[in-house]
Amino acid sequence: MTAVRPLLQTRNLKAGYQGREVVRRVDLTVRRGEVVCLLGPNGAGKTTTLLTIAGELAPVDGIVMFDNVPTFTPMYQRIRGGIGLVTEERLVFTKMSARDNLRIGGGSVERALALFPELEPRLSVRGGMLSGGEQQMLALARALSLDPKLLLADELSLGLAPKIVDRLLGAVRKAADDEGTGALIVEQHARKALKYADRMYLMARGQVLLELPADEAIERLDEIEEAYLRGTSETEEDHFEHKRRKDKKKVWRRLRVRERELSRLTGRTVSTRREQDDDYYLEIERQRRDRSMRARK
């Protein structure tokens, strides 16, 4: 039992895009001064989870709590309330100067420069003309200059040179150590991210499979990579599974009607439904559909 209240806690979070559930039963915790990284293969639902926590996506079910307070506000209010967000698209306004980019959230330019002095000579350059690394630094500097209680970072390192990734992750680590900022970072490069993290969650197929302290995770990384991180997770198959279940439900409903009819006629309770016969019923459903198509012809 920790004495400190967790900064961020999700309970039984379900999320997705437009009716399609991508993430199920996700319980995450981030405490003060802690860097937590969220690992997983492509399509595991890491970004979805993060965006749901940030408030861009509304959760399908479950609760996101900041400081033990369930939160339902839109994204911009969460940002104002002390959440920092950095995403792979770099959130830099291309037509504004770097200085304006730093000012827009209401943070101080000096603080941002104190974090990333290398931005100083580039202040009057338009955001679109900065290099990828500078853009990401700018976004991170802006987020950190607002002194967030919690930092959410999505694929901070995407397409950046290793040195810059070290610089960025180092800044996150420093903020966590000095200011007590909690950080939840989503990363593809497991090894690199784990060097700067305290703890990791492993996600695959929309669920959290594993929670480990970072040092232990580094030790077992090969094993973990072998088991989970290879390739993409097959959410598409999940999707078909979903459809199959829906079809099954339909078949069962029809069978139930028939049973009711039978029991009305015979006065006996009849059950024709059995779990193990699913495939059989699905086949029937498919054939029925085919037949009705042909019949129309």
Sites of contact with other proteins (CB under 8 A): 41, 43, 54, 56, 74-77, 79-80, 85, 87, 89, 91-96, 100, 103-106, 142, 146, 157-162, 165, 188-189, 191-192, 225-226, 229-231, 234, 236-237, 239-240, 243, 293, 295-297
- Are 151 and 181 in contact by the 8 Å Cβ rule? The answer is yes
Shortest distance, position 270 Cβ to other proteins, whole Å: 28
Compute φ and ψ for 134, nearest 5 degrees. -65, -40
Report how far residue 178's alpha carbon sits from residue 114's, in angstroms, rounded to the nearest whole number.
14
Nearer to other proteins, 268 or 297 (CB): 297
Shortest distance, position 91 Cβ to other proteins, whole Å: 5
Nearer to other proteins, 49 or 157 (CB): 157
Shortest distance, position 229 Cβ to other proteins, whole Å: 6
Nearer to other proteins, 29 or 171 (CB): 171
Nearer to other proteins, 29 or 155 (CB): 155
Positive or negative torsion for Cα 45, 23, 65, 89? positive
Determine the residue type at 246.
Answer: K
Shortest distance, position 262 Cβ to other proteins, whole Å: 25
Shortest distance, position 147 Cβ to other proteins, whole Å: 13
